[in-house]
Amino acid sequence: EIVLTQSPGTLSLSPGERATLSCRVSQSISSSYLAWYQQKPDQAPRLLIYGASYRATGIPDRFSGSGSGTDFTLTISRLEPADFAVYYCQHYGTSLTFGGGTKVEI
């Protein structure tokens, strides 16, 4: 079973700062099969990134994804007030599993 571990659990930053979120996978995976989602309170998750680095439709370019093998990163270059939320990584392909999430708070 593939396990995704996200760190840190909580990231406290200010608007305008850079956010770097980590997703570590328990075994090496193809970078084609890693996605990132944003979830705000009382809302469904929203797809941000798929294939580790491809932005979904309508996602601003301040969001970027990178990584390979077992280590993946979501970077938000300059935080805007709307970006404070919980972020989840997801592995897909052979199974469908989510990380535990990182909360980005002000």
Partner 1 sequence: QVQLQESGPGLVKPSETLSLTCTVSGYSFSSGYYWGWIRQPPGKGLEWIGTIYHTGSTYYNPSLKSRVTISVDTSKNQFSLKLSSVTAADTAVYYCARSAAAMYYIDVWGKGTTVTVSS
Q: Does 100 bind partner 1 (CB under 8 A)?
A: yes
- C-beta of 51: minimal distance to partner 1 in Å? 8
Q: Do residues 67 and 56 lie in contact, with contact meaning Cβ atoms separated by under 8 Å?
A: no
Q: Does 69 bind partner 1 (CB under 8 A)?
A: no
Nearer to partner 1, 46 or 62 (CB): 46
**Cα pseudo-dihedral 58, 44, 83, 10, rounded to 10:** -140
Candidates 56, 59, 64, 103; binder of partner 1 (CB under 8 A) is: 56
Q: Does 67 bind partner 1 (CB under 8 A)?
A: no
Candidates 29, 45, 53, 55; binder of partner 1 (CB under 8 A) is: 45
> Burial, 16: exposed, middle or buried (Cβ in 10 Å; 0-12, 13-18, 19+)?
exposed
For the chain, how are helix, strand and coil distributed in percent, rounded to 5? 5, 55, 40
Q: Name the site residues for partner 1 (rule: CB under 8 A).
A: 35, 37, 43-47, 50, 56, 88, 90, 92-101
